[in-house]
């Protein structure tokens, strides 16, 4: 596992933690100390793959990123992207890809949106989370979403808020062709 370090226009891709610490020691503004050195060693030894940033002074940071890139060019071109991406991330990207896939037939669409409703007794309005499920005939997932939202816009308050079709609050399932 290699480490990519950057502080403004100074950057390096190193193979060991010692090389990373030497790189940071060469930058006077960072002010390397034993506590910072121990934290960098802990980060490098951990299973965490998120980038880590360290504050130097207000709004000034340096970052460290774990990477499998062999050289700086591979890192810049993102050739060493980790294959161990969480299943949830892969699933959400595939759902977004399926959104525009055209398959004529029946879809079951589920949408969770913020509906404006009047509170009895007070006359004030508030947002309420509303779950809506519909079976519609559509050409694609996005067409299913558009048909459901058009239907709801005619029946609920104009101030109601609808989620993005790409978000987690809209799901659809292809049910098949009409017989």
DSSP track, 125-164: EEEEEEEEEEEEEESSHHHHHHHHHHHHHTTS-TT-B---
d(CA 63, CA 115) in angstroms, rounded, equals: 42
**The pLDDT of residue 69:** 85
**The pLDDT of residue 64:** 92
**The pLDDT of residue 148:** 96
Instruction: List, for residues 70-117, the tens digit of each pLDDT value.
Output: 888 888 887 766 554 455 555 555 667 788 888 899 999 999 999 999
pLDDT at 59 over 90: no
**Higher pLDDT among residues 135 and 177, named by residue:** 135
**The pLDDT of residue 176:** 87
pLDDT at 32 over 90: no
Q: Which residues contact 171 (CB under 8 A, 6 or more apart)?
A: 95, 109, 110
Rounded percentage of the chain residues whose pLDDT exceeds 90 = 47
What pTM, to 2 d.p., does this model score? Answer: 0.49
Rounded percentage of the chain residues whose pLDDT exceeds 70 = 89
pLDDT at 167 over 70: yes
pLDDT at 125 over 90: yes
pLDDT at 156 over 60: yes
Mean pLDDT of the chain, nearest integer: 87
**The pLDDT of residue 95:** 66
**Higher pLDDT among residues 146 and 31, named by residue:** 146
Task: Indicate the pLDDT class of residue 128, thresholds 50, 70 and 90.
Answer: very high
């Amino acid at each position: 596992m290699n480490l990519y370090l950057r502080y403004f226009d100074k950057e390096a891709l190193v193979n060991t933690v010692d090389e990373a610490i030497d790189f940071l020691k060469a930058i006077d503004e960072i002010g390397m100390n034993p506590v910072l050195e121990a934290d960098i060693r802990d980060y490098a030894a951990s299973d965490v793959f998120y980038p880590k940033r360290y504050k130097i002074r207000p709004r000034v940071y340096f970052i460290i990123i774990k990477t499998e890139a062999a050289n700086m060019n591979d890192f810049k071109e993102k050739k060493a992207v980790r294959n161990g991406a969480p299943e949830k991330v892969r699933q959400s990207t595939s759902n977004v890809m399926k959104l525009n896939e055209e398959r004529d037939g029946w879809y079951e669409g589920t949408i969770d949106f913020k509906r404006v409703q009047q509170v009895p007794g007070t006359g004030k309005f508030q947002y309420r989370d509303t779950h809506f499920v519909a079976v519609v005939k559509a050409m694609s997932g996005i067409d299913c979403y558009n048909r459901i939202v058009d239907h709801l816009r005619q029946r609920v308050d104009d101030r109601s808020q609808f989620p993005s079709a790409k978000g987690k609050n809209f799901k659809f399932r292809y049910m098949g062709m009409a017989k």
